[in-house]
């Protein structure tokens, strides 16, 4: 299992760094553009929602078999509250993440709230 960890400031311009790292991991594992787009959209939405807080956020990316796992945290309190709510009918953060990811799990870790995003993939050029 490969694992990559980055820490970035919560301010929006730094989410580009997360996109670059996700793109690099996806390229190494021959992930399709559709899966890459879903991962980047989910991370961008999460980081944009979370930028109200100060400090840094960690993103831990790992590839386990045919699944990419992104753990993000510690989350700002407002982001954790948004993720604890049901997806509902509106286009909130929880709904966006559940639509683009195979699984979204909120958990306590290292004294804060973290979210784990999972997305399965078939390597580009193979049948799903």
Q: Which whole number is the average pLDDT over 39-46?
A: 93
What percentage of the chain reaches a pLDDT higher than 90?
Answer: 55
- pTM for the complete prediction? 0.89
Instruction: Output b/e per residue, 79-107; b: 16+ Cβ within 10 A.
Output: bbebbeeeeeeeebbbebbbebbeebebe
Report the pLDDT value the prediction gives residue 41, as an integer from 0 to 100: 94
Q: Do the Cβ atoms of 68 and 59 come closer than 8 Å? A: no
The rounded Cα 71 to chain-centroid distance in angstroms is: 6
**What would the DSSP string read from start to end of 8-23?**
EESSGGGHHHHHHHHH
């Amino acid at each position: 299992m490969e694992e990559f960890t980055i820490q970035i400031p919560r301010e929006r311009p730094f989410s580009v760094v997360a996109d670059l790292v996700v793109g690099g991991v996806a390229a190494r594992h021959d992930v399709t553009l559709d899966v890459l787009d879903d991962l980047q959209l989910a991370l961008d939405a999460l980081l944009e929602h979370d930028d109200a807080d100060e400090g840094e956020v960690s993103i831990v990316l790992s590839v386990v078999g045919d699944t990419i796992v992104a753990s993000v945290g510690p989350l700002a309190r407002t982001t954790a509250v948004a993720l604890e709510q049901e997806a509902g009918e509106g286009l909130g953060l929880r709904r966006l993440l559940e639509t683009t990811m195979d699984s979204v799990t909120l958990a306590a870790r290292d004294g804060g709230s973290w979210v784990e995003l999972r997305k399965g993939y078939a390597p580009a050029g193979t049948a799903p």
